[in-house]
Amino acid sequence: MLIKGSNPALITPMRDGQVDEKAFLEFVDWQVKQGSHGLVPVGTTGESPTLSHAEHERVIALCIEANNGRVPVIAGTGSNNTQEAISLTQHAQSAGADVALLVMPYYNKPTPEGLYAHFRKIHDESDIPLIIYNIPGRSMVNMSVETMAELAELPRIVGVKDSTADLWRVSAQRHAMGPDFIQVSGEDATALALMAHGGHGCISVTANVAPALCSAFQEHCMAGDYASALAIQDKLYPLHEALFLEASPGPVKFAASVLGLCAGELRLPLVEPREETRAAVVAALEFAGLLDGAKQTAAAE
């Protein structure tokens, strides 16, 4: 399976307004050593909307460099501008990414015919496996199972990152596209149910700060040991919830700063989480047992 298990939607560390390349290289290496099954640079969690094209491409290249072929790299290359998505996808392919992740065209709200034409054009102008990212909460467009099934007939459209939280879709998509069509959750809180319905993994926000736990959770799911997976889910649920009390990646970047992984700096229009959100994040990290190790810092002050 090209994509499986726990795949963190990587934050992009920043310092003084610039991408903190050193921190990012160290962060990617730590993620792999902690057991992450794949890496997802420059998705929404990586603040792709406010990265320049040069920064976007540089972060993908840095991720590939730090990973050094150990796990698959699933590069975010989507856009609501089809030609821009083609350019970013072609760059990711030439840089050595294993898969490209393409968000639904946001804001311009294409019809099903427009969605098919958009993804078909990117497919035909590249040679890399493609994952559809269906996230109606951000894009305001929800791809139907029927349109996805049409796209799945193309040889290099291999799966979906499903952030609909509609769990019926997992079985519906499995029925329409078959069990080999990759289905990964984009919702940490519903990943357990998606796996039980026949999914293959998660592109996770929580895995940024709890990679070992998220990896173990997915290993249990893939082995069919849902009782052990549920025990980890119970441990992580407050963190899943706290990391989305405000727009991501604000809370998860703060959590990373608490653990000493990088600074919590964001780019406008995102700002530092509110005091009550920060308190909830620290409490959830403590509940999950993540403040017990060497990464605990005074960032919770």
pLDDT for the residue 299? 38
Backbone φ and ψ of 290, nearest 5°: -90, -5
Q: Tell me whether residue 289 is in a domain.
A: no
Mean pLDDT, range 144-167, rounded to an integer: 96
pLDDT for the residue 155? 97
Evaluate if residue 165 carries a pLDDT over 50. Answer: yes
How many structural domains are present in the chain? Answer: 1
Q: Angle at which helices 226-242 and 250-258 pack, to 10 degrees?
A: 100
d(CA 152, CA 3): 16
Evaluate if residue 188 carries a pLDDT over 70. Answer: yes
- Of residues 22, 107, 161, 295, which has the active-site annotation? 161
pLDDT tens digits for 225-254?
999 999 999 999 999 999 999 999 999 999
pLDDT band at 139 (very low <50, low <70, confident <90, very high): confident
Q: Tell me whether residue 32 is in a domain.
A: yes
pLDDT for the residue 103? 96
Evaluate if residue 83 carries a pLDDT over 60. Answer: yes
pLDDT tens digits for 98-129?
999 999 999 999 999 999 999 999 999 999 99
pLDDT for the residue 297? 40
pLDDT for the residue 189? 94
d(CA 177, CA 151): 10
Q: Tell me whether residue 276 is in a domain.
A: no
Residue 171 belongs to a domain with what CATH number? 3.20.20.70
Mean pLDDT, range 36-61, rounded to an integer: 97
Per-chain mean pLDDT for the chain = 95
Of residues 289, 281, 283, 286, the one with CA closest to residue 250: 281
Evaluate if residue 77 carries a pLDDT over 60. Answer: yes
pLDDT for the residue 294? 40
Evaluate if residue 263 carries a pLDDT over 80. Answer: yes
pLDDT for the residue 300? 38
Q: Tell me whether residue 21 is in a domain.
A: yes
pLDDT for the residue 293? 59
- Of residues 133, 226, 237, 253, which has the active-site annotation? 133
The answer to whether 33 is a known catalytic residue is no
The answer to whether 106 is a known catalytic residue is no
Q: Tell me whether residue 249 is in a domain.
A: no
Q: Tell me whether residue 61 is in a domain.
A: yes
Of residues 72, 171, 176, the one with CA closest to residue 131: 72
Q: Tell me whether residue 200 is in a domain.
A: yes
Domain, as residue range, for 106: 5-223
Mean pLDDT, range 289-300, rounded to an integer: 58
